[in-house]
Amino acid sequence: MSSRPAAGGGRWVEVDPPRVARWVAGFADRHGPPTTTIQEYGLLLTAPDGATAELHIPPGAPASSNLDTFVAEAVAPRRIGLLLARKGAVAVGVAVGEQLPVHKVDTRYVQGRTAAGGWSQQRFARRRDNQAKAATGDAVDLALRLLLPEVDRLDALVAGGDRRAVDAVLADRRLAPLAALRAERLLDVPEPRHAVLLAAAGAARAVHVLVRDPQPAG
């Protein structure tokens, strides 16, 4: 379980699906038994002391009308496509739980930015642009080969890394069926490697909870 500050106040907590029921029980112990309200993003828990917890539906899971169903759906096994892209590296896979029956990592060198000016800078910029386009093309080919054949069996596609790099890959019209399954979640990952892809399989399933503590009395 990890936690980070949330824009606008509160904090985001990422909870592994098997621990959601225990986390909710702990929230109730600290703040009192909460009431549950259905929201577009999932469920809102409101405790007697004013603390709230927004339980966001994990990628691929259906909407739930009550807490028991939400927990059951969170732990249910799902088939999730993964697309991680950053600069010249890409990793794709199909996660079933935290297993990766389908996976591939590919890297291609992309020239870093240069401080040189004039003609030299333009030449390096053109070279870097060409290398970046080639890297995107490799990523598209990988997605076409490994992910697109699985599209009818996927519950969701979760991307990670650099948003622009991911967007460039999914902009290919041939990947439109895959792009249609893309979840809002963007995983914050380092340069894609097999270990990073394996960790992403777990992060893609985590339940995101926005917690806001009760406001102090006047």
Query: Per-residue DSSP letters for 16-72?
Result: -GGGHHHHHHHHHHHH-PPEEEEETTEEEEE-TTS-EEEEEPPTTPPP-SSHHHHHH
Residue 180 has φ and ψ, to the nearest 5°, of: -65, -20
Per the prediction, the chain carries an average pLDDT of 88
> Does residue 217 belong to any structural domain of this protein?
no
Cβ neighbours, 10 Å, residue 27: 21
> What is the residue type of 70?
F
Res. 123: pLDDT tops 70: no
% of residues, the chain, pLDDT over 90: 71
Q: For position 9, what pLDDT does the model report?
A: 87
Same-domain check for residues 85 and 155:
yes
- Whether pLDDT at 161 is above 90: yes
d(CA 193, CA 216): 45
Same domain, 89 and 182: yes
Do 73 and 100 have their domain in common? no
pLDDT at 172 over 80: yes
DSSP helix/strand/coil, 145? helix
Q: Which residues contact 53 (CB under 8 A, 6 or more apart)?
A: 24, 27, 34, 44, 45, 47, 209, 210, 211, 212
**Which residues are CB-contacts of 3 (< 8 A; sequence separation ≥ 6)?**
11, 12, 13, 14
* pLDDT per residue as tens digits for the range 82-122: 999 987 789 999 999 878 999 999 875 444 544 454 445 66
CATH of the domain at 83: 3.30.420.60
Range of the domain at 92: 79-201
14 and 71 fall within a common domain: yes
Is 218 part of any domain?
A: no
**Both 8 and 65 in a single domain?**
yes
Q: Is residue 30 part of a domain?
A: yes
Type of residue found at 195: A
CB atoms within 10 A of CB 129: 12
pLDDT confidence of residue 132: 59
| Same domain (yes/no): 55, 90 | no
Burial bucket for residue 139 (CB in 10 Å: 0-12, 13-18, 19+): buried
Q: Are residues 110 and 36 in the same domain?
A: no
